[in-house]
Amino acid sequence: MNHVRQHLGNKQLQKVRPADLAAFYATLAHTGLAPRTIKLVHVVLHRALGQAKIWGIVRDNPAELAKPAPASIQEVVMLQPDQAAALLERLHGKQPLYLLVLLALATGMRRNEMLGLRWRDVDLDVGRLTIEQSLEETAAYGIRVKGPKTKHGRRTISLPVHLVTELRQHWREQQEQRLRIGLGKAPEGSPVFAGPDGGYLSPEALSKAWPGVVAAIGMSGVTLHSLRHTHASMLIAAGVDILTVSRRLGHASPTITLNTYGHLIRGTDERAAQIMEVAFGSKMVADSGKNPGK
């Protein structure tokens, strides 16, 4: 809270305005503080000022109107289609990374959703998977299974044919490996991405290994999360409606999708003008011909 005191000085709590908080958040951003950290500061201030309002110390909560700027999606690497293809080509044969990247690019799934995926959640005959759970890993409890981030996170996603083919091959190879080490056939509840013992892979271990992997293949800067952004950006560029994109990503609301990727939507305003021209343009020209004096 030292930053708060330094910025707001000795200003009485009742005199703090939304503009003061907005300027404070801008100062934090200027010092290089990460957007996520600034958001946490905002959450703490919002709760504290909310309690002050309940106690009658302040009339309004200024944090309700002043919010930190969202992290710019443009700061995240989003691959062009040829770059995504190059990444897959350079990772080909390196399992499970190749299939994880392919799955992320084709579905927009989060890292912990992919690592929590079970074979029972995948229907290769109809080409769909259902996200029912995710993983979390903490120092206190290790790897644990949990539900999706939001109720919209529990969703069903259609799969492209090439991904279904790769998953079938992965299933066969996984069964052969299990039989070789004496584990027997994998049950339906086993992870799609399993460790040597048949259990879940560590999300933290994957994240720690990833930078070295992409650096070794000459694609430094590509993060696991940027694959999710690449999926969304490619769908939007292809003209897929924002509601469909939002549902595939598991966002709580299409508004989140618009706030995150709205800057990628191009040409819709021109298209709107074209539609209006087709609908009304010819009629208005005809009407003006009937009333040349106006």
- What's the mean pLDDT when you consider all of the chain? 84
pLDDT of residue 17: 84
CA atoms of 86 and 64, how far apart (whole Å) = 45
- Which pLDDT score is estimated for 142? 92
Q: What angle do CA 159, 125, 149 make, to 5 degrees?
A: 45
Predicted local distance difference test score (pLDDT) of residue 2: 47
State yes or no: cis peptide before 191, omega within 30 of 0: no
Confidence at residue 24, expressed as pLDDT on a 0 to 100 scale: 82
Give 2's Cβ-side CA count (13 Å radius). Answer: 0
The parts of the chain modelled with pLDDT lower than 70 are 1-11, 30-34, 69-77, 263, 265-272, 281-294
Q: Tell me the pTM.
A: 0.69
Write down the pLDDT at residue 6. Answer: 47
d(CA 227, CA 208): 16
Predicted confidence at residue 282, as pLDDT, reads: 60
Domains of the chain: 2-71 (1.10.150.130), 75-256 (1.10.443.10)
Only one residue has tokens 């998953």, namely 167
Tokens for 142, please give them: 């290790």
**How many CB atoms within 10 Å of residue 247?**
16
